[in-house]
Structure 1
Amino acid sequence: MHFDPEQLRVFSALMTEGSTSRASLELRTSRSNVRRIWQNLEEQLGESLFLTRDNGETEPTTAARRLDREMNSLLEEVRRFEATIRKIHQNGRVLRLGADRNLFNTGHFGRIFNTLRHDPRFRISFLEVGADEGKAAVESGACDLLFSIEGVPGRRLESRELPPMALDVACFRDREDPSPVQPEELSNWSWSLATITGENRALDTLNRIRKSGGGEGHLCSQHHFMRWAENAKSAEEDAVVCVRPVSFRRLPQVTFLPLGVEASYPLNVSYLKQHPYEFLETMVGHVDRALKSPENGLRSSES
């Protein structure tokens, strides 16, 4: 009888983990896929291999224990392979966060990253995902959580809104007043809005600042903003409205002050509805609470 490697891996995982949920988590696949492969193996053998209890735990049958003994050497190879993978990820399973590079470089995303990396179950990694690649990246499993401004629609995807990214005003370091910059003050300056989103949404945000008394202003790229921040005093602009970068401490010649107007960039997170990490929704809720927390707010953590 022929056994394919996937059947052996599922059988070994069920014997080791004792539940389809833990086996699917270990194999980075869905519980339904584990059950399908398990049932196909039972059909090939003509015998039942596992019994499912009310609490979801699986118990190997006599046939499963016999198969385990008879295929001990082969299964041992499979288990050694799995142990090698676990050793590579000895600090926890990998949780892949996807986002556009501009979003990744904001303090808002830095707060999300730091919140998740304290979870002992995971090693956190980052994947740069372009605006038109989001859906494919999530559905293919390239990233587990995708953070974006526009959101990612799809029947297989779940999307949730997170606290929006507040806007700051980057201006010269020699400004002594630490209070928020009001729109009326912007109207006396030459200023730009650094965009990390699509042009339509960026223009809408720009117009909201203008209508609040901020004067004209214009859009600039994130790259332009960083070049300006490195040599602000020699630039034509007096200030740039932006989402505070995570690396702002590397820009000693610029100070960041809150913008005194209700204008911000929204933030969404998307993930598969049926994901091997079945507690992603709980983790997203944890991130949401951390971003809203007044004692650990984004402003105070970056000041």
Structure 2
Amino acid sequence: MRGTNHSSVSEFLLLGLSRQPQQQLLFLLFFIMYLATVLGNLLIILAISTESRLHTPMYFFLSNLSFVDVCFSSTTVPKVLTNYILSRQAISFPECLTQIYFFCVFAVMDNFLLAVMAYDRFVAICHPLYYTTKITHQLCALLVVGSWVIANLNGLLHTLMVARLSFCADNIIPQFFCELTPILKLACSDTHLNELMILFVAGMLMIAPFICILVSYVFITCAILRVSSTSGKRKAFSTCSSHLAVVCLFYGTIISLYFNPSSSHSSGKDTAAAVMYAVVTPMLNPFIYSLRNKDMKGALRKVVTMNFLCIQCEKS
């Protein structure tokens, strides 16, 4: 215990970005990135839903990933923008718990969907003849629903465990949102159980999908290397290059934040890494998939053209 006589904290102060110079530039940058995230991912969802050629398991998982990315970014960025407009850094304790819950849910969903998409590419490349029989609509729905259930249980677990803690006078969070680890450092009560849950439960939910992705790509690489023709290798690799780029971006920022010893001594590095995986990565995902995927580019072009024609018809 850090103390026995303490008062209850009703709100926290988010100071992760307040110490940075050029606050107006940061506000504008966050607003543009959030707008690009929402519009880009919604365009991906619209293109997949309207283009019949994209009604396949791979694009079904991609549309779910785009939805999760919109929600993931919406968990943190609107609060940053609101606090800037109102010239305040405070977030109430219930709001903080809500942010922790949804952040845990969508972070785990990102992990699971990336792992599911890796498995989908593994079956498509390593066992193409059995793809339609293995990756069925029922299996796709089961994988997505199961991921949502586990992600929500994980978020509920960590939120309830934070809710039982007591907090003293110190209420300053050196981050731009209510991240789990900085919150635990402010608690007056014992946080060993919370830390164990983060280590085992959250660790398993992060490491297990990552291992699944690594194993899938080991088999995928071996299968591609066995292809005799250069064009065949190029075609096989192009089917998973976008997903691989997203995986490297997502896990690269997380590893740099949580597995780099130097990051624990620098709040600036922590904030920069958090911006990368919570804001930048959801924004870049639709661009990566649209720029490196011929079918997606065609579907997006079709959606934009149809909307443009509809606008012209309304004007005339």
TM-score range with shorter-chain normalisation?
under 0.3
For the pair shown, which has the larger CA radius of gyration, 1 or 2? Answer: 1
Q: Which has the higher helix share?
A: 2
TM-score for both structures, normalised by structure 1: 0.24
Bigger proportion of residues as strand = 1
Greater relative contact order (Cα < 8 A, sep 6+)? 2
